Amino acid sequence: MLRESYTFNSYATNNIESSKKFYGETLGLQVVENEMGILEIKAGGSNRFVIYPKENHQPATFTVLNFEVKNIQSEVDDLIAKGITFEQYPEPMKTDEKGICRRDDRFAIAWFKDPAGNIISLIQENQ
């Protein structure tokens, strides 16, 4: 049944053009706008997700997309240089001055928002 099915996530934006520029130019992902006005976005390997226009879009209050990275410090620095502001959170997920939360040497995570206010994270698992 479903255990063999390919999955992908999708979420909305209130401005398809700003999302297209953000995901394509700022984040450097492969973005194609299909004939229905939906963004089809490819990331590493076979990973993909879609972003669709929604006039009355309300951003989620939770993380909608996670990128697993090898060096979170480097990725955060690169995105800050491109103008991205990382979220600042208090305990229990206290972030440092750049927006990185480090948890018991197990993992590090940093959150930022896309132009529609959707929350995205970078995660580095320490091995």
- Burial zone of 41 (CB within 10 Å; 0-12 exposed, 13-18 middle, 19+ buried): buried
**DSSP SS3 for 52:** strand
Provide the whole-model pTM.
Answer: 0.92
pLDDT of the residue at 127: 59
Per-residue pLDDT reduced to its tens digit, 76-98: 999 999 999 999 999 989 999 99
Per-residue pLDDT reduced to its tens digit, 42-72: 998 888 999 999 999 999 999 999 999 999 9
Distance in angstroms (rounded) separating the CA atoms of residues 52 and 33: 10
Ordered by where they begin, the domains of the chain are 2-125 (3.10.180.10)
